[in-house]
Amino acid sequence: MISNEELLEKLANGFVVETEDDMSEDYRKLLVQTLTITADTELISIFSILDALQYVPTLNRRITELAIIQDELGHAHIAYRLLRLLGVDTDYLIYEREAKDFRNPYLMDLKLNNYAELLTLHALLDRAGYVLLGDVFHHTSYGPWKRALTKVDAEEGFHVRNGESGLRAMVKTAAGRQQVQAAVDWMFIMGLDFFGMPDHLKKRSLQLDFRLKGETNDQMRQRWMKSAVGFLDSIQIQAPVHWDSESDSYVTDFPYPCEWDTDQRRWQLDRPVTWQDVLGRFRTHGPYRREYVEILRRGRESYLALRGGGVA
């Protein structure tokens, strides 16, 4: 391990970090934290898709969703594998850690109610993942992750296209269009949350200094909005944001952040909250987290039982 100063100087000259010896203590800590959030997000993201398979209208479109689940498990595997390389006990993380300690975003702990919501998940939230991981892909100073992300980037593109193509077909009927708009109304704001605290509330980011990422939260949020709104415009679906030429950026049509009503499963747009409140909601996580983690572990237990019985 080396000091922060020494590492920062090397990074300024384009140094690529490969092993733990190349890292400083703080760099390693931040990398482990970032990889854990990524791994947990990829892993827990599959459960709401799995549950929503019941709404997918045709067999082959279900297989498309299964292919996406397989991709996400592959993405999770990459991130956990890198964590193991850094000496982290990933069996503990996946199979023993308390459900509440997973680091995935709030949205992953919910259930989807129809096919429009599943397609919107792909068109908007996989797009958010694409923006976030695309930033890592283009900017990270950690070589092993950068190399692994080539394929992840291509696959996230597929997930987004699946959402877009499905939504394009769905808005052709009035009933379908109404469902899509209803899904976008709440899920777009979940997408805003994905990028975390706004820059002006954050202290200086060591992640940027270490080139673990290249863009700030607000820069990525803006890039996501531009891309998402562009698509939604093309199918004439409203997003709750508009372009503000004065600030040269997208701004929300309502005071953001605002309160999420868990029971009614909708945003209270007239009830602004602070980012401390938002982080509090993230910490208490969503209603199905426990169930999802249980499914994950039951799968392993029954597999081990079968193998013990000589079946698998």
Partner 1 sequence: MVTEDLVWSALETVKDPEVPVSIVALGLINGIALEGSEVAIQVTFTSLGCACMDWIVDDIKAAVGALQEISSVHVDVVWNDPWTKERMTVAARNQLGKWGIQA
Q: By the criterion CB under 8 A, which residues form the site for partner 1?
A: 58, 60-61, 63-64, 66-67, 150-151, 154-155, 157-158, 161-162, 165, 169
CB of 70 to partner 1, least distance (A): 9
Please, which residue, 169 or 279, has the CB nearer to partner 1? 169
Q: Give the SS3 label for residue 19.
A: coil
Q: Which residue has the tokens 């992840």?
A: 152
Instruction: Work out what residue 66 binds among partner 1, Fe ion, none; the CB cut-off runs from 5 to 8 Å by kind.
Output: partner 1
CB atoms < 10 A from the CB of 255, how many?
Answer: 11
Alpha helix positions (H), the chain: 4-12, 25-52, 59-85, 90-91, 115-120, 127-139, 143-170, 174-193, 206-209, 217-234, 275-284, 289-308
Please, which residue, 163 or 257, has the CB nearer to Fe ion? 163
Please, which residue, 38 or 162, has the CB nearer to partner 1? 162
CB of 39 to partner 1, least distance (A): 19
d(CA 161, CA 123): 7
Q: Give the SS3 label for residue 270.
A: strand
| Angle (deg, nearest 10), helices 217-234 and 127-139 | 140
CA nearest to 217, candidates 246, 192, 252:
192
CB of 105 to partner 1, least distance (A): 25
Could you tell me the two tokens for 77? 């595997």
d(CA 104, CA 38): 8
Q: Which residue has the tokens 């009614």?
A: 264
Instruction: Work out what residue 67 binds among partner 1, Fe ion, none; the CB cut-off runs from 5 to 8 Å by kind.
Output: partner 1
d(CA 158, CA 154): 7
CB of 170 to Fe ion, least distance (A): 19
CB of 238 to partner 1, least distance (A): 25
Please, which residue, 159 or 223, has the CB nearer to Fe ion? 159
Please, which residue, 111 or 168, has the CB nearer to partner 1? 168
Give the residues lining the site for Fe ion (CB under 5 A): 42, 72, 75, 126, 156, 159
Please, which residue, 150 or 268, has the CB nearer to Fe ion? 150
Q: What are phi and psi of 260, to 5 degrees?
A: -100, 125
Instruction: Work out what residue 72 binds among partner 1, Fe ion, none; the CB cut-off runs from 5 to 8 Å by kind.
Output: Fe ion
Instruction: Work out what residue 34 binds among Fe ion, partner 1, none; the CB cut-off runs from 5 to 8 Å by kind.
Output: none
CB of 147 to partner 1, least distance (A): 9
Instruction: Work out what residue 75 binds among Fe ion, partner 1, none; the CB cut-off runs from 5 to 8 Å by kind.
Output: Fe ion
